[in-house]
Amino acid sequence: MQTHMKQNLWGYLFISPFIIGFLAFTIVPMIASLYFSFTSYNLFNPPEWIGFANYIEMFTSDPRYIQSLKVTFIYVLAGVPLQLVSALFVAMLLNTASRAVGLYRTVYYLPSLIGGSVAVAIMWRNIFGDEGIINLALQGLGLDPVRWFGNPTAALWMLIFLAIWQFGSSMLIFLAGLKSIPQSYYEAASVDGGSYFQKFFHITLPMLSPVILFNTVMQTIGTFMTFVPAYVISKGTGGPLDGTLLYSLYLFKQGFEFFHMGYASAMAWVILVVIAVITSLIFYSSKFWVHYESEGGR
Amino acid sequence: MRPKHIKKIIYHVFVSGLAVLLLYPVFWLIASSFKETGQIFATAGNLIPKPFTFENYAQGWQGMGNYGFDTYIMNTFVYVLLVLLGHLISCSLIAFGFARLKFTGRGIWFAIMIMTLMLPSEVLMIPQYIIFAQLDWLNSLKPLVVPAYFGHPFFIFLLVQFIRTIPRELDEAAIIDGCNTFGIFTKIILPLLVPALATTSIFTFYWTWSNLLGPVLYLNSPGNYTVSMALNMFLSNETVSNWGAMFAMSVVSLIPVFIIFFIFQRYVVEGISTSGLKG
């Protein structure tokens, strides 16, 4: 009994920073924001209870809110799959015994490393400018230049391309997964006369499915809350015509430009629920497509 | 030539060609930073600056208003070092607790920790700001730095995974030699944890160095601005005349990131491959 008490004491002593931090910087703010979401609060006057008014306003009388939801869903639905497919493609390309692979891996990872910075956002804004190198390349290919900042759809795609450009960290995780697939599986398939595509769909994809699940979940959560590129590239406006008004940018503007703290808190809760539902759906669907080695009954 | 060699050459041409295409915007940014501002878009298709000039760096380094770019760099280094110290101390203590000590409720707390790993921090932005405002912490580094001393779920998870690979026999030998729990942590685990702490430091550096949202919320006087904020300010005040300086300082802001990456590449690549850290 004595040692049991002592063990508990040591354990809680070591993890106490986490418990204190979790209560102070996560739980208390979450409860506070749930309360604020039912109030009208501008930081200077005391919060005023208004019930569900913020939540009702969002979906009935705030077209910019609906726009930001729409833009964010397009951004996630296009950005995440395209980024993961690029990551898997390059990972398979680099999964060879060549000595140069180490160097290639580094080079392909670099965009991921610097992608979240303001410097890259500035660079992106300028390569997509009217006289930027993207338009030069389009003209070189005989295509019409695009006015990336003149059209909300084009501007959003510019952000999606930036998300895809940063496929490096998912690629490294895929590469580690590919390396752990036993070579003997492929050899056995070759003996049975399996084609390249059969091997891909019957060995690579199933064996990689847990890694695909992990990458999908983490990228989806991260992409939903993208802030820096939209904020920097549109100079804080989310324009043109709210075409790049990603959810966290609109949340930021509601909170810190208009000082609608209550409304912004309600927005945060809605997106939290949306992300939780989508993540649960992905996990639920994984029962049907993720293959775990140990379930084979060894 | 044998077909096998031809296949190999095609492979390398394709893979390195794709890599150059991918990094071309970065080359363009660097090349443009050495061009005269008037030449940047006039000669956008050409990577060689003609004439070659350092003028943009000299001009950008002077910064804006009353503060030079060196002030922003110093501010950012102080911010990064304080967060780094916090992560190293708190995450190693917490990870040791989770990985090595048996106590009632460990499973539940570990599950909570994993859940916070998936909680997007932007969701807490508003209430945290209100709380820090009540504490009178606005316009200081405190809201950005203090939370680092209470652990970070990604790094706790990374360190827990690492500690689990250290043989328990070492702990038992230390107990026989008369070590208490804290002694096992400082004398046995901590020295062996250095590679994982290196990964923690490198990623803390990257994330903190390039963080924009936190500094924008909490640092309001230009004398406290970080590099990211300064660059953003350059962009929002953008006039036709200072692209060159803005590009030059963008390159400067990336230099520490590149240097650390090339020195510690191994830790970065292994950190991501084993724990799924997002770079």
Q: What residues of B are in contact with residue A117 (Cβ under 8 Å)?
A: 210, 228, 253-254, 257
What's the mean pLDDT in A61-82?
Answer: 94
Q: Is B160 exposed, middle or buried (0-12, 13-18, 19+ CB in 10 A)?
A: buried
pLDDT per residue, tens digit, chain B (279 aa), is 677 788 888 888 998 999 999 999 999 899 888 888 777 777 777 777 777 888 888 888 887 777 888 899 999 999 999 999 999 999 999 999 999 888 888 999 999 998 888 888 878 889 999 999 889 898 899 999 999 999 999 899 989 988 888 888 888 888 888 888 888 888 888 888 888 898 899 889 988 998 999 999 999 888 889 999 988 888 877 655 678 888 899 999 999 999 988 888 877 777 777 666 554
Enumerate the β-bridge partners of residue A48. Answer: A40
Domain edges within chain A: 63-296
The per-residue pLDDT for A269 is 92
Q: How far apart are CA B56 and CA B59, in angstroms?
A: 5
- Which of B210, B207, B215 has the alpha carbon at shortest distance from B253? B210
- This model of the complex carries an ipTM of 0.87
Using the Cβ of A180 and the Cβ atoms of chain B, whether some distance falls under 8 Å is answered with: no
* A75 in Cβ contact with A226 (< 8 Å): yes
DSSP-assigned states of every residue in B206-235: HHHHH--HHHHHH--SGGG--HHHHHHHHH
Q: What residues of B are in contact with residue A36 (Cβ under 8 Å)?
A: 126-127, 130
Which tens digits make up the pLDDT trace of A245-286? 999 999 999 999 999 999 999 999 999 999 999 999 998 888
Number of neighbours of residue B73 by Cβ within 10 angstroms: 19
Q: What residues of B are in contact with residue A168 (Cβ under 8 Å)?
A: 279
Chain center to CA of B193: 20
Using the Cβ of A55 and the Cβ atoms of chain B, whether some distance falls under 8 Å is answered with: no
The CATH number of A63-296, from 1.10.3720.10, 1.10.10.10, 3.40.50.300, 1.10.1130.10, is 1.10.3720.10
The per-residue pLDDT for A295 is 47
Q: What residues of A are in contact with residue B93 (Cβ under 8 Å)?
A: 14-15, 17
Residue A247: closest C-alpha in chain B:
B122
Burial A66-84 (b: 16+ CB within 10 A, else e): ebbbebbebbbebbbeebb
AA identity, residue A76: V
Which tens digits make up the pLDDT trace of A219-253? 898 898 899 999 998 888 887 888 889 999 999 99
The per-residue pLDDT for B175 is 84
Residue A35 has pLDDT above 70, yes or no: yes
Residue A157 has pLDDT above 50, yes or no: yes
Residue in B106, B128, B279 closest to A109 by CB: B279
Model pTM? 0.88
Whether the link from the prior residue into B51 is cis, omega within 30° of 0, is yes
* A258 in Cβ contact with B239 (< 8 Å): no
Q: What ranges in A115-260 are assigned the alpha helix state H?
A: 118-127, 133-140, 152-165, 168-179, 183-191, 196-199, 205-224, 228-233, 247-256
Name the more confident of B163 and A2: B163
Q: Give domain B65-275's CATH architecture.
A: Orthogonal Bundle (1.10)
B109 with A15: Cβ contact below 8 A:
yes
B243 with A29: Cβ contact below 8 A:
no
The per-residue pLDDT for B185 is 87
Domain edges within chain B: 1-53, 65-275
Residue B185: closest C-alpha in chain A:
A14
